[in-house]
A and B are shown apart, each in its own frame.
Chain A
Amino acid sequence: METAIKEPTTSKSNFKSEEYFINMGPQHPATHGVLRLLLTIDGEIIKKVEPDLGYIHRSIEKMCENNSYQQIVHLTDRLDYLSSHINNEAVCLCVENALELEVPERVKVIRTILGELTRIASHTLWWGVMGMDVGALTTYFYGFRDREMINDIFEETCGARLTMNYNVPGGLMQDIHPNFVKRVKEFIPHFRSKLPEYDRLLTGNIIFQKRTKGVGILSKEDAINFGASGPVARASGYSCDVRKYHPYSALDKITFTEALDTTGDSFARYKVRIAEMWESLAIIEQLIDNIPEGDFKVATNAVIKLPKGDFYQKVETARGEFGVYIISAGTKNPYRVKFRSPGLSNLSLLNHIAVGGKIGDLVATMATIDIVVPDIDR
């Protein structure tokens, strides 16, 4: 057998760059769950990002078809587990609208307060993990320290810290704990004093800014086209807050500013979330002293049957627009349930904004998209 012996090349121009692909995940710490990304790269430059989904798909939509409307609520906090209260609320609102059921003012106010607390809890966790993804471990402990206070409030009132299941069609599972108002009022000034600490630690950090400014830029047109929502879309100047445009529960009585930015890079998405935490505090403050007296639930039939038809409800979770679409055939089970998850749409634009960047930038970009994989896989 003859083998051709190649002349060793000395000229630099003869080095060829070759594209190859590597796996990121499914067990990569920066993928926040079991998400596998297939990266096609040339050196360190990303040519293509293709997510491989379904590692924790549980087919919750199919499960809903065999469950009653009260049971469905319990499945939704297994979607985006960091916005579980808001997910529960979406299903309850959808069922209540279909039944033309008016819930007491007390319920609406409590739901909104808990929703905003959920948003803060989710954003503090995101902030901690965001810092960790770009190499600042301290943020993780700061974020969890403040989130702990909210989780304690949840535990006292709802009986659970993560998957609350506090909403039921018609109202709430039980009344708020006597300590609830006091605890929330303690939390607000505490967190007000800690938020500037976040800025001092990370926002102003020059290394962090270099990692995020000008990275992963998303234009407003692309944000709309890819169906982006939540802080990802608002950082590109697309005003889309469901709380503003389709207010639900007590949000129509609240004045708040929608956090917007126009840069569309990772740093803008970061700033929008920080601003949202301030706004959530302002929303809670407007409501916490004025929780109306009254019932925490209106009676519904033990077996809820929705009228025949289509029902849609959208809410703003910490990640963006979450939609519940119920097709009812008039029986005790839904005919078809679709959950419009903010995560899948937000993830779909990852390839668009990551191409041309480096792998390190992809980690920072993914952190600011704030992915929760069960929300994508459902």
Chain B
Amino acid sequence: MTNDVLQKTILSWFPDPEFPQPQFSEEGSQFLNLSTQPEQLHELMQLLKNNPETHFDYLFCLTGVDYGKELGVVYHLESTVHRHMLVVKVQTEDRENPVLGSVQDIWATANYHEREVFDFFGIKFSKHPNLKRLFLTEDWEGYPLRKDYVDELNMVVK
């Protein structure tokens, strides 16, 4: 499916203009990018996987990003049947208690990768069955991959 058709298909799932629409962009990226709201994320992801037209069954990359003001997660999706790709981006402005919906019930691979994002960015994934730090110790303070993380002892700042 080409990016245009993909965009039209996904938009047709959200016919209500009152409802927050997913935003599409191809600027500065080789993939079609889709930005969505945290509340909408889980429902959208489920549709993306289960709809036979999109059939995004392979989540190959899950990245946490600190945008400075917002914290976000980027999902790289591929369909093993149609071989098309899509990037889903979601952001939250709450840095104190960022919560996003977990997609580990949709793709099992998200289980470990969401734990990694929690470990380094402190983003909590609601309904994750085992949300604890993956690499760092339980008593580690702070979230090291955030841009405002300070560790004067171990970090070389140029």
Residues of A at the B interface (CB closer than 8 Å) are 53-54, 57, 59, 61-62, 66, 97, 222, 224-227, 229, 238, 240, 245, 307-312, 314, 321, 323, 325, 327, 336, 338, 340, 344-345, 347-349, 352, 377
Contact = CB atoms under 8 A, between A and B. Distances in A.
Contact of B76 (A62, A309, A311, A325): A325
Contacts, number: 88
B30 A224 contact: no
B28 A61 contact: no
A325 B63 contact: yes
B135 A311 contact: no
A352 B111 CA distance: 13
12 contacts: A54-B134, A54-B135, A59-B144, A238-B80, A240-B80, A310-B74, A312-B61, A325-B63, A336-B63, A338-B63, A340-B76, A344-B116
Interface stretch (B12-20, B36-44, B52-60): B52-60
B144 A348 contact: no
B26 to A, nearest CB: 10
Interface residues of B, number: 36
B56 to A, nearest CB: 11
Contacts of A310: 28-29, 31, 33, 74, 87
Given A225-B57, A311-B29, 19 more contacts: A54-B137, A62-B155, A66-B157, A225-B107, A227-B58, A227-B59, A227-B60, A240-B80, A309-B27, A309-B29, A310-B31, A311-B30, A314-B60, A323-B60, A338-B61, A340-B76, A344-B113, A345-B113, A348-B112
Nearest to B116: A344
Interface of B: 27-31, 33, 57-61, 63, 65-66, 74, 76, 80, 83, 87, 107-109, 111-113, 116, 134-137, 144-145, 155-158
B80 A226 contact: no
A314 B87 CA distance: 14
Q: Most chain-A Cβ atoms within 10 A of its Cβ — which of B27, B58, B111?
A: B58
Contact of B156 (A66, A344, A348): A66
A61 B58 contact: no
A352 B108 CA distance: 10
A345 B80 contact: no
A336 B109 contact: no
Contact of B109 (A59, A225, A308): A225
Contacts of B65: 327, 336
B67 to A, nearest CB: 9
Given A226-B109, A227-B107, A240-B80, A325 B61 contact: yes
A54 B96 CA distance: 25
A54 B109 contact: no
A348 B109 contact: yes
A238 to B, nearest CB: 7
Contact of B28 (A224, A308, A349): A308
Contacts of A308: 28
A245 B83 contact: yes
